[in-house]
Amino acid sequence: MLNKVTSYFLEGESNYNVNLKDENPSSFLLQDNSNVTLDLELSSKENKIYFNLGKDSNLNLRIIVKHEIENVELHANVSRGTNFNIYVVDLFNNSITFKSIVDLDQENASSSFHLGVLSKNDEKKNYDISFNHKVGRTFSELDAYGVSKDLSMIKINGTSHIFKNSVKANANQKAKVIVFDDEAKAIANPILKIDCNDVIAKHACAIGSLKDEYVYYLLSRGISLKEARNLITLGYLLPISKHFSKEDEEKIIGLIEGEF
Amino acid sequence: MEKLVIKDLCAEVEGNQILKGVNLTINKGETLALLGPNGHGKSTLLAVLMGNPRYKVTSGSIEYDGKDLLSLKVDERSKAGLFLAFQNPAEIPGVVSADFFKGAINAHRDNKIKLFEFYKKLEDTCKEVNLPFDMVNRNLNDGFSGGEKKRNEILQLLLLNPDIAMLDEIDSGLDVDAINIVSKCINAQKESKNTGFLIISHYARLFELVKPDRAAVMINGRIVEEGDASLISKIDNEGYEWIEKELGILIKKEETNKPMNKVSIGVCATKEVIKDVK
Ligand SMILES: Nc1ncnc2c1ncn2[C@@H]1O[C@H](COP(=O)(O)OP(=O)(O)OP(=O)(O)O)[C@@H](O)[C@H]1O
Ligand SMILES: [Mg+2]
């Protein structure tokens, strides 16, 4: 590797706030037996981030995607008994390609990816979220909510790969995107690669337009057109905000409400 | 006193004329039963009254409290005191029921309801219609059973206290206990708020419980017969054939090829939807 890797060590019971500027790529090492929340601020166009998670730990990674970001590539290895939760809110940046690959390397490793994404104008937002169940008794979850407006597009590829002999692996995918305007577009591809019996793999994806039928139902109860559109849309984006700090949560809600 | 006066109402949906000159009056506080064979325009009439944008009124008038109802938007009609319990209530993913109820209640009053008062009211009303209170945290009608959806409609009726409530086959898909609960709610609403009801049903059972003041029969997009509640038992016993004979009306049989909705929600492997351009 030509670039120097900047490394961060995460340990204990703590909250970290890290602003990545030119430290690219960067890597985070989570010690065994720790419980950490990491608020990660990304500032450069291209971002390569590695995570190495020790045993019997928990890491909550929270990212609010900002304007200038074009590419994010996240790789993680999760050890035995460790849980890695990723929360991404993507509301006000431009087009983006976000790739996340989480390897569940040892038993009882688990990971979840929660996404709230809004696209507007002619933005294209690509999310490629993969979980590799390398051994049995590993657990993964994708929970993605999106709203695409104007001429924009949201594409969510969720890949769950359950390797040979990974018995009792459990992979869950859920993607719900609402298409707000006539010309907006949304694609959700759940990809399940399963090389083992005795596993649980579920996926549900729903792509809906802001259907006249929905709006009419709300209007018929006295709710105004503007409020009806808001209610339908806010429901998709708000749930992710509760995973962030109180301060960020308020910021996110404010931003979403300002948008509609 | 007249509350809702429908005169020579003609309406079409996607170019098909369904209502062909409806004349019907509903008085204040009155319960009117609307009967008629499948596919003859009953739901269409309610859709037009509520202002569903898919239906186009081609002629005729509707007066509500002496004012032109057709000039009001859908939400304005609700605020004016009209309520429609849908035959098939929409499932709305992403909208939490409680948020929706709060929005609806607030639309009907000048100052916003206090949170405590709201939850109290919601809890009491859930009990009345026998829906578990947890339901209010779920998305609106999303995954609700048929009977739960119907009771959810009654729940909203009770929350909004309309002057006129139109119930479209509220009893279909309800078990015996649920029919009893729903009719109890209707009767209580009549009693305490003097709400008028326009009730569509194919079954005499509901009508036995809510005791309509009058009944009307819709055939081929027109009201062809009006009378007191005895009309209901006559139809229950004899069907609609006597109308063909007595009034010389040929009853059109329902077309079976109803257009499919363009539904784009569901569990899927790969799905790509571009919103239909209207
Ligand atoms: N969007 C539509 N496009 C074309 N025809 C429609 C549409 N909606 C309703 N219709 C037709 O209008 C007619 C009247 O339908 P409506 O739902 O009013 O009947 P109904 O009297 O309520 O019947 P039921 O007792 O079965 O509920 C039917 O023939 C129906 O197929
Ligand atoms: Mg009907």
Q: Is B103 on the interface with A (CB under 8 A)?
A: yes
Instruction: For chain B, give the percent of residues with pLDDT over 90.
Output: 82
pLDDT of chain A along its 260 residues, tens only? 456 788 999 999 999 999 988 778 999 999 999 999 999 999 889 999 999 999 999 999 999 998 789 999 999 999 999 999 999 999 877 899 999 999 999 999 999 999 999 999 999 999 999 999 999 999 999 999 999 999 999 999 999 999 999 999 999 999 989 898 889 999 999 999 999 889 999 988 878 777 788 999 999 999 998 888 888 878 788 889 989 999 999 988 888 877 76
Q: A136 with A151: CB under 8 angstroms? A: no
- In this model, does residue B229 exceed pLDDT 50? yes
> How far is residue A78's CA from residue A210's CA, in Å, rounded to a whole number?
39
Q: Which of A179, A184, A222 sits opposite B104 (nearest CB)?
A: A222
- pLDDT at position B221 over 90: yes
At residue B54, what is the residue type? Answer: R
Residues listed for chain B: 278
B255 — pLDDT class (breaks 50, 70, 90): low
Instruction: Report the separation in Å between the CA atom of B255 and the middle of ligand 1, taken as the mean of its atom positions.
Output: 9
Q: What pLDDT is attached to residue A93?
A: 75
The pLDDT score that the predictor gives to residue B182 is: 96
Contacts of A233 in chain B (CB under 8 A): 94
Domains of chain B: 3-96+161-277 (3.40.50.300)
Neighbours of B230 (CB within 10 A): 9
So what's the pLDDT on residue A235?
Answer: 78
The pLDDT score that the predictor gives to residue A2 is 54
- Global pTM reads 0.74
Rounded-to-integer distance, Cα B261 and Cα B273, Å: 14
Closest chain A CA to residue B159: A221
Distance (Å, whole) CA A245 – CA A77: 25
Please name the residues between 129 and 168 in chain B that touch chain A, using a CB distance below 8 Å.
139-140, 156, 160
Question: Is the model's pLDDT at B257 over the cut of 60?
Answer: no
Tens of pLDDT, residue by residue over B3-46, are 999 999 999 999 999 999 999 999 999 999 999 999 999 999 99
Helix residue ranges, H only, chain B: 42-50, 74-79, 97-107, 115-129, 146-160, 176-193, 204-210, 230-238, 241-247
Owner of token pair 């059972």: B205
**Closest A-chain CA to B157:** A221
Q: What is the pLDDT of residue B246?
A: 84
Distances (CA, A) of A157 to A43, A109, A144, B150, B232: 25, 22, 10, 37, 57
Q: Ligand 2 centre from B166 Cα, in Å?
A: 12
pLDDT reported for residue B263: 34
If one compares B196 and A20, the residue with the highest pLDDT of the two is B196
Q: Residue B274's pLDDT band (boundaries 50, 70, 90)? A: very low
Q: What is the ipTM of this complex?
A: 0.89
CA distance B38 to B18: 13
